Amino acid sequence: MTTQRRGVTPVCREEALANALPPDLFPDSVEAPAASHARFDPAALAPALDVAGGAVLRYGLVAILVLFGPFKFTAVEAAGIEPLVRHSPLLSWLYALTSVRGASDVIGVIELLVAALIAARRFSPRAAAAGSIGAVAVFVATLTFLLSTPWIWVMVPGFPLAVPNATGAFLVKDVLLLLGAALWSAGEALRSIHRPKATATPA
């Protein structure tokens, strides 16, 4: 049924009723309720893993330096590193200035100083950066033992290439990892120096 007034377009009563109702009373589609429990996203662990990994790298490096630094003050360690240091073009000059024990003591002091600077990261990123760069220099010098020490590389039956002996394997495996930790620590500390304090995250 339609109604008509003068000057008004005829309108169906049902159409007029539909136009008068709120548009959201009868939605075209009904959304399903959201899941009560959101799915676990492994990527959410990334920030915590970054912080934990950085702490292990930096303070593990500090722990190793603190452990082996004082050992350099003993006669056993001084004698043990003498063949390596004596053949090194970077460190052999120490024996021209002091004794075997004295040279080992100098190396021990350097390692402890570097460890203290790196450990100060939370209080002074500049100190940590300086210590980390010092650690890089220490480990690069140590890696040169692979090239300067004549008895490091040996031939083994059944393998065509020379391989490092027990001492050389220790240098390759451990020092490369420590060098990587020192490089990361230096980069992180340097970034923190130039980062706004509001966003800096001490580690």
What does DSSP say about strands 2-3 and 11-12: parallel, antiparallel, or unpaired? Answer: antiparallel
| pLDDT value, residue 148 | 92
Answer yes or no: is 90 within a domain: yes
* Of 140 and 174, the one with more pLDDT: 140
Answer yes or no: is 176 within a domain: yes
Answer yes or no: is 23 within a domain: no
Find, among 119, 130, 126, the residue nearest to 203 by Cα: 119
| pLDDT value, residue 171 | 86
pLDDT band at 64; cut points 50, 70, 90: very high
- Measured CA to CA, the distance from residue 162 to residue 82 in angstroms comes to 23
| pLDDT value, residue 23 | 57
Q: Give the 3-state secondary structure of 76-108.
A: HHHHHHHHHHHCCCCCCCHHHHCCHHHHHHHHH
**Count of domains observed in the chain:** 1
| pLDDT value, residue 67 | 93
Answer yes or no: is 41 within a domain: no
Answer yes or no: is 1 within a domain: no
- The model's pLDDT over 89-125, given as tens digits with 9 standing for 90+, comes to 999 999 999 999 999 999 999 999 999 999 999 999 9
> What is the domain range of residue 188?
57-192
| pLDDT value, residue 195 | 74
Answer yes or no: is 67 within a domain: yes
Answer yes or no: is 4 within a domain: no
